[in-house]
A and B are shown apart, each in its own frame.
Chain A
Amino acid sequence: MSDRFEPVIIGFTCNWCSYRAADAAGMGRMKYPPNIRLIRLMCSGRIDPTFVLKALAEGADGVLISGCHPGDCHYLEQNYKALRRHRLLQRTLAQLGIEPERVRLTWASAAEGAQLAETMTAFVEEVRALGPLAWPARPRPAAVAELHEAAAEATP
């Protein structure tokens, strides 16, 4: 492996279209970089913005969200809710000083394994270009306890 930056990306996929697109990419032996790790949810509408922030806080450099195409949602219209939340979340990220491009929303139908593989490949390169997110490392449980103690002691 070279010294180039290897981003870590968490991908949220809906059960019906996008996770199956990822399965289809596998069945078709389509290649994409190993930087992306997928989580299956029933619907892109299940995505709580907390999940995205959690991933970024735990060390992910980017987050990909993939749902069914607009109009094709297994739950009729819940991907539109994912779209709304994504827009809001991007504004929040900008306010936090995080490049909104680190969190990307895409659509992939169950038949679009090749397209999803292409999207993932392109996204890995985009996040690689953005560089490490370097969100402050999460304090470990023991460290948390120390922090609390220190805070308690400091309190008059």
Chain B
Amino acid sequence: MTETLQPGTEDERIGVYVCHCGSNIAGVVDVEAVAGFAAEDLRTRGVVVARDYNFMCSTPGQDLIEKDIREQGLTRVVVAACSPHLHEATFRGACARAGLNPYLFEMASIREHVSWVHTDKAAATAKAQAVVSGAVERVRHHEPLEAIRVPIDAATLVVGGGIAGLQAALEIADAGYTVHLVEREPSLGGHMAQLDKTYPTLDCSACILTPKMASAGGHAHVHLYTWSEVEKVEGYVGNFTVTVRKRARYVNNDLCNGCGVCVEKCPVMVVDEEFEAGLGYRKVIYTPFAQAVPNVPVIDADNCIYFLKGTCKACEKFCDRDAIDFDQQDEVLTLRVGNIVLATGYDMFDARRIPQYGYGRLANVFTNLELERMCNAAGPTGGKVVLRDGKTAPKAVGIVHCVGSRDRNYNNYCSTICCMQSVKLAHLVKERTGAEVYNFYIDMRTAFKDYDEFYQRVLDEGVHFIRGKVAEVSPREEGDLQVQVEDTLIGRQQRIPVDMVVLSAGLEPRRDAKAVGGIFGISCSASGWFIEKHPKLDPISTMTEGVYIAGCAQGPKDIPASVAQGAAAAARVLMRIHQGVLALEPVRASVVEALCSGCRICNGLCPFNAISYDAARQVTAINSALCQGCGTCVAACPAGAIRGSAFSDEQVLAQIEGLLMANVGHPSEEAVTA
């Protein structure tokens, strides 16, 4: 460790701390040379202490800073280490503990932006020195600031009534706080409601899910909005204003008692493409499944005879509670919430996109969801696994893994659930039909508790596992199929005759994930999943304060992981509610009235309506409660009358000079004038 202590040349006394981060930084950047540069060449810029240390973020590292602030009387601190997004808060804390305003601190990223991306040691060291010089010049212009404190509204919006959203909603509501639960479909339940059994325990999915649905449906603190969508979100953490469109159900929620007579009397059947995956039928007035919550049907206006031809009204005639209301209109509601949990789930990969697997072309090629519905006793076949003719039990079934996953033509990622889902379906088919079952896999991925044991059990049951990516599913005589695959364990091409093929389709981001993300101010990864704040350390927060993500919206995951993430999001929301107030970065614009000429150039620039014009006094005013701190108006003001705290013109211009080493070796202006 090198250290240099010297008398200051001016009023400011700056401490510079260069982190080794083990070998993460020190392996590429000569950290001693960087600290030495700060001590020698930036001495005239006010640097009085420059040290390098193995791990600045460690307690002894932070102690170094605190000790220097106290003993050396530092007035500003620069830490050259990792990204400010990682440890800015850590070092601000150290400054605050030693009595220095935490905003008199600047962080220079020499790991993510230097040592990890460059290989030439001399060039990397030179760049690190420039970055430190930039930070020193910038910090000289920092001002002491106070965090902005905003109150947190105790109500929470949960979007998505699948298992992740249900878990989050129930945990928050059970703690006694209001939850607005918005679900796009007519009922809570999500994809889990469509499943028959859940691996590895073979619990009946409905048996473990429906109690949670019922609990949310009847909960005193849960306000349920099904058949509804969020249209607009305004405001910021603690104070969101949410616009929800409650689509017309044409059935009055308050009057309907869920007796089901209307469904029984409706004369029109349509193929149920949603819940029954196209295998079964439903009426035009329907609840998606028997345990639906709320147990209030909805009229599918696109197929309803009354809406198409103006006559019928059978449902209305038989409803003895007058609950049918053909004149019902969409309702637009405004909700005020402090936090938002997004649990919008996934879409299943459309197996038609892989033509060589024959889905949609070869009758007896099914998707995993179709098989799942067939296995279900309440499903379209009453729990019987049969071919497309609806009666013949299959004798040999091929289950194809990784359909649309781990395939550079479709999705590069592993959908994580398909191996175990395929093993489970293999077991169910074997149990119900006694058929020979072949699983075609690329790699078996059965990580997590009790999963591999289940795989071993299904192996012992006599299910065949063939390691190879299926090339083609083709027809044989009399409607049979054959699966062409290279068995990579024996190095031989195989043609396996089967009479049923099941495609284990992967998970994809919701088709409208990008648009939904736009509403909530969060973005999607390259694969289309919502981006978390940190992939390891903060998988439930997003870049937008107060918006959390849970379940498959964040990436493919199974039920236990979705439940855990939903609960984690709830814990985070409850933490915020308990805090009551939240400290926000004091990055705000303000007008220096003496400089404002009232030109109004800035007036149209703010998307948050924070800028208004005081006509009487002919000056512009900025409402700091509405200002989000982007700084666009600061940049636009021709008179320099708008100041941006934490990102002022002076700070940025000084950082530019510093980065270009314009001031190296030159005395500070204060020293010149002195």
Interface, chain A (partner B; CB < 8 A): 1, 8, 10, 16-17, 19-20, 22-23, 25-27, 29-34, 37-43, 45-48, 50-51, 54-55, 58-60, 68, 71-72, 74-78, 81, 85, 109-112, 117, 138, 140-141
Contact = CB atoms under 8 A, between A and B. Distances in A.
The 8 closest A-B pairs by CB, nearest first: A26-B112, A46-B631, A45-B632, A43-B630, A75-B630, A48-B635, A26-B116, A76-B607
Interface of B: 83-85, 109, 111-114, 116-120, 122-124, 126-127, 130-131, 134, 518, 521, 523-526, 531, 543-544, 587, 605, 607-608, 628-632, 634-636, 644, 647, 649, 652-653, 655-657, 659-660, 662, 666, 669, 672
Contacts of B518: 71-72
B117 A29 contact: yes
A6 to B, nearest CB: 8
B117 A31 contact: yes
Nearest to B655: A39
Nearest to A75: B630
Given A26-B112, A76-B608, A85-B635, 11 more contacts: A1-B120, A27-B112, A31-B117, A39-B659, A46-B635, A55-B660, A58-B660, A68-B523, A75-B607, A81-B605, A111-B526
Nearest to B673: A141
A47 B653 CA distance: 11
B607 A111 contact: no
A25 to B, nearest CB: 6
Given A23-B83, A45-B630, A45-B631, A37 B127 contact: yes
Contacts of B544: 74
A151 to B, nearest CB: 19
Contact of A40 (B84, B127, B656): B84
B672 A141 contact: yes
A21 B630 CA distance: 18
B117 A117 contact: yes
Contact of A110 (B114, B543, B662): B543
A138 B659 CA distance: 15
A50 B116 contact: no
A51 B531 contact: no
A26 B632 contact: no
A16 B585 CA distance: 14
Given A45-B632, A81-B632, A17 B122 contact: no
B660 to A, nearest CB: 4
Contacts of A58: 656-657, 660, 662
A2 to B, nearest CB: 11
A110 B531 contact: yes
A46 B117 contact: no
Chain A interface mostly: loop
A144 B605 CA distance: 37
A111 B554 CA distance: 13
B543 A47 contact: no
Contact of A10 (B111, B660, B666): B660
A45 B635 contact: yes
15 contacts: A10-B659, A32-B117, A34-B124, A37-B127, A42-B587, A42-B647, A46-B632, A46-B634, A46-B635, A47-B635, A59-B660, A59-B662, A60-B656, A78-B630, A141-B672
A143 to B, nearest CB: 11
Contacts of B632: 43, 45-46, 75, 78, 81
A30 B118 CA distance: 8
Among A22, A46, A47, the one with the most B-chain Cβ atoms within 10 Å of its Cβ is A46
A40 B122 CA distance: 24
Nearest to B84: A40
Among B531, B632, B672, the one with the most A-chain Cβ atoms within 10 Å of its Cβ is B632
Contacts of B526: 111-112
B123 A1 contact: yes
Contacts of A29: 116-117
Contacts of B634: 46, 48
A50 to B, nearest CB: 7
A64 B69 CA distance: 36
A78 B116 contact: no
Contact of A37 (B84, B531, B587, B659): B659
A51 B78 CA distance: 22
Contact of B644 (A10, A27, A46): A46
A19 B85 CA distance: 9
B527 to A, nearest CB: 8
A43 B636 CA distance: 13
B81 to A, nearest CB: 12
Nearest to A85: B635
Among B114, B116, B134, B652, the one with the most A-chain Cβ atoms within 10 Å of its Cβ is B652
A96 to B, nearest CB: 18
A31 B655 CA distance: 24
A50 B523 CA distance: 30
Contacts of A10: 656, 659-660
Contacts of B608: 75-76
A74 B124 CA distance: 31
A32 B120 CA distance: 11
Given A40-B84, A78-B632, A34 B607 contact: no
A54 B666 contact: no
B435 to A, nearest CB: 43
Contacts of B131: 37
Nearest to A17: B523
A34 B120 CA distance: 8
Contacts of B118: 31-34
Contacts of A77: 607
Contacts of A20: 85, 543
A139 to B, nearest CB: 11
A138 B662 CA distance: 9
B384 to A, nearest CB: 45
Nearest to A69: B523
B656 A39 contact: yes
Nearest to B111: A26
A47 to B, nearest CB: 6
Nearest to B646: A42
A9 to B, nearest CB: 10
Contacts of A60: 656, 660
A111 B659 CA distance: 26
Contacts of A43: 630-632
